[in-house]
Copies of this chain bind each other. A is one copy, B any other.
């Protein structure tokens, strides 16, 4: 499957924290840690766990830009 989202960043899962319905997944992308907040259901369905290769995927319209 190819997706229109412009940002598909390859990395490795370093942490999965499950809540009541929402999980937080941290992915190491070239040394930068990217945090995703997704459903527990997705974590189970994709069998996400620490050490697994994964992509952080972000639609361009969800990216902001900041400067110092």
CB distance from A47 to the nearest CB of B (A): 8
Where chain A touches its partner, the secondary structure class is strand
Which residues of chain A (20-68) have a CB below 8 Å from chain B? 20-25, 27, 29-32, 34-39, 41-43, 45-48, 52-68
Interchain nearest-CB distance for A64 vs B (Å) = 4
- Kindly list chain B residues whose C-beta atoms are within 8 Å of the C-beta of A25: 65
* Cα(A55)–Cα(B34), bound, Å: 13
Evaluate contact between B30 and A65: CB separation under 8 angstroms: no
In the complex, are the beta carbons of B65 and A38 less than 8 A apart?
Answer: yes
Cross-interface CB contact of A30 among B31, B55, B63, cutoff 8 Å: B31
User: Which residue of chain B is the closest to A6 with respect to CB atoms?
Assistant: B35
